Amino acid sequence: MKKGPGNGVVIYLRVSTSEQADGPLNLHNQEERCREWCKRNNLTVLHSFVDPGESARSTDRQEFQKMLAYCKQHRREIGFIVVQDMSRYARNMQDQSNTMAALAELGIRLRSVYEPGIDETPAGKLQAAIIGAINENFSNNLSQRMSDRTRQSALAGRFPWKAPVGYINIGGKCGPNIQPNPTTAPLIRRAFELMATGLHTKADVLREITSDGLITASGKPLSPQTFQMVLRNPLYAGWVRIPSDPDFQPVRGLHLPIVSQELFDRVQAVLDGRAPVAAPKRKFNPDLPLKHIMRCAACDGPLTGGESRGRNKKYPRYWCYNPECRAVKLSVERLQKEFVDYLRTLKPDKKAISSFPKIAARVWATKQGDIERLSRKLESQIEDKRVLKESFKTKWLRGLVNDDDYKMGNAEYAAEIARLEQELQDTRSDRATLDAFIRFSELLLLDIARAWEIADPDQRQRVQNLLFEGGLHYSPELGILNRSKSSLFSMLEGIKDESILLASPTGFEPVLSP
């Protein structure tokens, strides 16, 4: 090819993923091949455009669009667009054909280093069309395979995408592939808790958690649109779904939820404009999670807690409730650190690990009752009340009931239905708690301390009460003591089954004496 006016060259480079773009040779090698081709053909490179991590299934690529605009503006200087191969340019037959035709009107031709037969001759056009069809077919098959893999991964309870704010991706080909981010997960939970009250706007909550330090993985604050998506995303309550597939039924994820199902449902009610049902009053202070499980080793009295006021600061503390004893008095931070350290001493043997989930499920079922049967009973009662409510409305419409009686009766039916629905929601929340605990036992049994640290306040209570049903004692000299020896581990002792046997009398023992 002869160098001359209108024979300048624009090089276009592309890779499909950011990982490929970060590779030291991918884009560099593409450019070297294109420049070498231009040098052999005595052509001058005027500009290079690079799309790192962009799919060629459409022309909606930032640098590709800039390239087309540049070609239109400098059409008198440009004779060719050069790519390493046609798949870099497009993987869609229609896009390839339309853009090549538009460039031809400007007098600009497309050339491929790896496919030298592509030119303006009939044979060259046929070759371009065949290669374009092959590239599109490859892209469609790859997309289908990726879609199938995504679906299978989601069905297995794994999250097959980049972790959203509040979670981080972790490695491994089995088990969960995301886990709560210790920095941002508490802020996400806080956002749900504020929204659930129904007393704050989304803008106010977003402003508060942003000021507390919530940012995305890229270091930017959440936009209002992203925050809305967070509040609506059931992933945070432990579910995996495929938003692009309306036929995909959400499945229980293998990951730890950041919020409980009950809290998530309450936030959905607020976002839908329904007045939140008053949450049952907590019997515990989430800032003092060990208040009801820890007792004084000296007098056996329960530990209480609160804030001691200094001159300019408040100091949260635990202390013995017995005014004649008060042998125990220490900071919340210290007791909770010692509790976590104590949890780290609980180590299961390998056989206990494999047996624990099934046995724990049986213990839990004994304590919780038949949740499924209760759910069906409540659903039946709700349906009966709705039928009666509609029947009552029919009588009113027929004039068999006066307006005052109808208003009173209708309100009573509505209140009873709301009460039953709340009870059903609580029951389903218990069922979700069981599912979450079984996943906890399978996936985090080797790190009970970590599980307690990242759990929300309700989950902490359930975990520690299940682990130590008889409570614990604290001695300033000896630290944490399990005097009653009563725990989940001892409860498991009495459960025997031909296929479920613990390897030792308890299956779990502290590594060191407390």
273 conformational bin, left if phi > 0, alpha if psi -120 to 50, beta if neither = left
Measured CA distances, 49 to 17, 81, 83, 374 (Å): 16, 10, 10, 64
pLDDT (0 to 100) of residue 110? 93
Whole-angstrom distance, CA of residue 194 vs CA of residue 208? 10
DSSP class of 283:
S
Which of 434, 460, 448, 488 has its CA nearest to residue 238?
Answer: 434
Q: What pLDDT was estimated at residue 279? A: 46
Which segments of the chain have a pLDDT < 70? Answer: 1-6, 18-25, 143, 146-148, 150, 274-284, 308-312, 347-371, 426-446, 458, 466, 484-514
Domains of the chain: 8-150 (3.40.50.1390), 167-271 (3.90.1750.20), 294-342 (no CATH), 343-510 (no CATH)
Cα angle 421-427-167, degrees, rounded to a multiple of 5: 105
C-alpha 192, offset from chain centre: 14
Quote the pLDDT of residue 498: 36
Nearest Cα to 236, choosing from 172, 190, 202, 276? Answer: 190
For residue 394, with 0-12 CB atoms within 10 Å meaning exposed, 13-18 middle and 19 or more buried, which class applies?
Answer: exposed
* pLDDT score, position 280: 47
Q: pTM of the full predicted structure?
A: 0.41
Q: For residues 92 and 78, what is the distance between their CA atoms, to the nearest angstrom? A: 24
Q: What is the DSSP letter of 325?
A: T
Give, in order, the Cα–Cα distances in Å from 198 to each of 139, 184, 267: 47, 22, 8
Q: Backbone phi, then psi, for 198, in 5-degree steps?
A: 75, 10
What's residue 288's pLDDT?
A: 84
